[in-house]
């Protein structure tokens, strides 16, 4: 009986091991002490019937009390381990996470916003206009001759005898000039439509950003400096630009602006067709006839205007070879340009 009490005393010491035990060690201890056949305490309890009544009472009381203490300690440790693993809440915190989908802005939307932001710093406000226009706004007030090919149903989407999907954002120049007296400085982003094939460099629907500045004393110098400043802010501070003479009915003189190819730096590559340059916009000094058509005194006011294609600009910046990539909405393509939510 003394031996049994001594054994119980030693066993009691083992209680201290439990709060530090990990899962594996806890199971081992449980088997060693409370195991159904060979457990140390189980065997002590099993020996009770062979003792005399007085010893049975003494040893039995301590052994049962110790058994309860072990059970409580094991249960507490098990709970603590489960809680640490999150199993209590049904979560397995060790499981690899699933990547969360994050919404983002389309590359072209990001480019439109970025361009408008640069012009906002230069004093331009954002304006919009309708996508369905009549011929006066889309063509005639912009000084197009009556026989211009763009008026042909072959080239433009007509939805009625004098109603068409706008072929450019320039009609919003007219709407702005009719509505607001100068000084005017606006940028006009929007969707436009043309009967073009859907191929690597054309889409029947695309975006434009129109710009218009009209005030007293605006010169060709303001025009060139504003657009060159834009190009250097949008691309890089040392980007070279050049203006080439061109023709548009609503500007005189007219020019196209090229920027140094962003892919090869100007030495020539397939993207710039070995020229080292990329055309990014059409522009010019507002034709006096346009001002007159809108009731703005062309003797007193002058201005400049431009129109650019954000898809083209996005393509030239990132070396995207096919405009259709911007319309197919393949997330693997778009997520390369994941932008912040608006």
The residues binding ligand DAH (CB under 6 A) are 168, 170, 210, 248, 251, 282-284, 305-307
DSSP label at 49?
G
| Alpha carbon distance 244, 227 (integer Å) | 13
Query: Which residue's CB is nearer to ligand DAH, number 21 or number 212?
Result: 212
Q: Which residue has the CB atom at the shortest distance from ligand DAH?
A: 307
- Burial (CB count <10 Å: 0-12, 13-18, 19+), residue 51: middle
Asked whether the beta carbons of 33 and 14 are under 8 A apart, the reply is yes
Between residues 156 and 260, which has the closer beta carbon with respect to ligand DAH?
156
User: Considering the complex, what minimum distance in angstroms separates the CB of residue 307 from ligand DAH?
Assistant: 3
Instruction: Quote the CA–CA distance of 174 and 226 in Å, as a whole number.
Output: 21
CB of 165 to ligand DAH, least distance (A): 13
Rounded to the nearest whole angstrom, what is the least distance from the CB of residue 325 to ligand DAH in the complex? 22
User: What distance in Å separates the CA atoms of residue 179 and residue 171, rounded to the nearest whole number?
Assistant: 13
Collect all residues with Cβ–Cβ distance below 8 Å to 111 and sequence separation of at least 6. 310, 313, 314, 317
Question: By C-beta, is 39 or 171 nearer to ligand DAH?
Answer: 171
Cis peptide, bond prior to residue 253, ω within 30 of zero: yes
* Cβ nearer to ligand DAH, comparing 110 with 173: 173
Angle subtended at Cα 307 by Cα 242 and Cα 127, rounded to the nearest 5 degrees? 135
Measure the CA–CA gap between 50 and 44, rounded to whole angstroms. 11
CB of 176 to ligand DAH, least distance (A): 11
Spatial separation of the C-alpha atoms in residues 335 and 325, rounded to whole Å: 12
Q: Compare residues 51 and 150 and give the one whose CB is closer to ligand DAH.
A: 150
User: CB neighbours (10 Å) of residue 289?
Assistant: 15
CB of 282 to ligand DAH, least distance (A): 3
| Nearer of residues 119 and 306 to ligand DAH, judged by Cβ | 306
Min. distance of Cβ 284 from ligand DAH in angstroms? 5
In whole angstroms, the minimum distance from the beta carbon of 287 to ligand DAH comes to: 9
Residue 106 sits at the vertex; the CA angle it makes with 167 and 262, to the nearest 5 degrees, is 80
The residue among 30 and 293 lying less far from ligand DAH, judged by its C-beta, is 293
């Amino acid at each position: 009986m003394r031996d049994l009490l001594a054994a119980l005393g030693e066993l009691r010491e083992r209680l201290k091991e439990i709060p530090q035990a990990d899962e594996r060690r806890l199971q081992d201890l449980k088997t060693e002490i409370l195991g159904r056949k060979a457990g140390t305490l189980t065997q002590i309890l099993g020996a009770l019937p062979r003792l005399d009544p007085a010893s049975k009472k003494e040893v039995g009381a301590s052994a049962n009390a110790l058994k309860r203490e072990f059970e409580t300690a094991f249960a507490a440790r098990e709970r603590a381990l489960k809680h640490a693993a999150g199993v209590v809440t049904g979560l397995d915190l060790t499981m690899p996470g699933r990547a969360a989908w994050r919404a983002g802005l389309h590359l072209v939307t990001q480019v439109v916003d970025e361009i408008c932001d640069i012009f906002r710093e230069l004093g331009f406000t954002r304006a919009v206009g309708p996508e369905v226009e009549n011929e006066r706004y889309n063509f005639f007030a912009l000084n197009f001759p009556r026989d211009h090919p763009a008026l042909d149903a072959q080239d433009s989407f007509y939805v009625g005898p004098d109603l068409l999907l706008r072929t450019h954002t320039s009609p919003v120049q007219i709407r702005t000039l009719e509505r607001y007296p100068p000084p005017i400085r606006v940028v006009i982003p929007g969707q436009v439509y043309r009967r073009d094939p859907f191929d690597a460099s054309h889409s029947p629907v695309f975006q434009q950003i129109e710009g218009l500045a009209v005030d007293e004393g605006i010169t060709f110098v303001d025009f060139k400096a504003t657009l060159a400043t834009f190009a250097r802010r949008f691309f890089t501070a040392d980007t070279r630009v050049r203006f080439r003479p061109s023709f548009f009915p609503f500007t005189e003189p007219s020019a196209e602006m090229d920027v140094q190819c962003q892919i090869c730096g100007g030495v020539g590559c397939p993207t710039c067709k070995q020229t080292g340059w990329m055309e990014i916009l059409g522009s010019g000094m507002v034709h006096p006839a346009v001002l007159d058509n809108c009731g703005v005194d062309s003797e007193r006011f002058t201005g400049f205007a431009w129109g650019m294609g954000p898809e083209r600009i996005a393509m030239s910046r990132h070396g995207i070879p096919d405009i259709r990539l911007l319309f197919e909405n393949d997330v693997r393509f778009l997520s390369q340009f994941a932008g912040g939510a608006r």
